[in-house]
Amino acid sequence: MKKIVISIVALAATTALMAGVNSGACAGCHGADWSKSALGKSKIVASLSHADIATALKGYKAGTYGGPMKGLMKGQVAKYSDADLEAFAQTIGK
């Protein structure tokens, strides 16, 4: 089972890189498998739909989405295009 989980995480990271987004920067707060609530303040990304993740990422970039982590997340996603964020969202969540 552990090998399966590691394979899935590796595949997600590889797919994320192909989407143009550095998912390694995300893992510190959200966990390698997206199961952590970042700093105890965020939603658990693994439980969100691809559409919800895309909406959140693009909203953070535009400054129209987010709570206490809004400023931090805006800085994390600002350098990516909306297409990169959309493609990345398809690699995580459900």
Please check whether residue 30 lies inside any domain of the structure.
Answer: yes
CATH code where residue 39 lies: 1.10.760
**Residues found in the chain:** 94
Q: Is residue 59 part of a domain?
A: yes
Question: Domain total for the chain?
Answer: 1
Give me the chain's average pLDDT, please: 84
Instruction: Give the pLDDT band (50/70/90) at residue 22.
Output: confident
State residue 16's pLDDT score.
44
Q: Is residue 22 part of a domain?
A: yes
Structural domain boundaries enclosing 78: 2-89
Q: How far apart are CA 51 and CA 94, in angstroms?
A: 9
User: Is residue 26 domain-resident?
Assistant: yes
The reply to whether 94 falls in a domain is no
H or E segment at 60? helix 50-62
Higher pLDDT, 60 or 21: 60
Which pLDDT value is given to residue 58? 97
- Identify the residue whose tokens are 């390698």: 32
| Banded model confidence at residue 94, pLDDT cuts 50, 70, 90 | confident
> Is residue 15 very low, low, confident or very high in pLDDT (cuts 50, 70, 90)?
very low
Q: What is the model's pLDDT at position 21? A: 80
pLDDT for 38 beyond 60? yes
The answer to whether residue 55 sits within a structural domain is: yes
Considering the domain boundaries, does residue 41 fall inside one?
yes
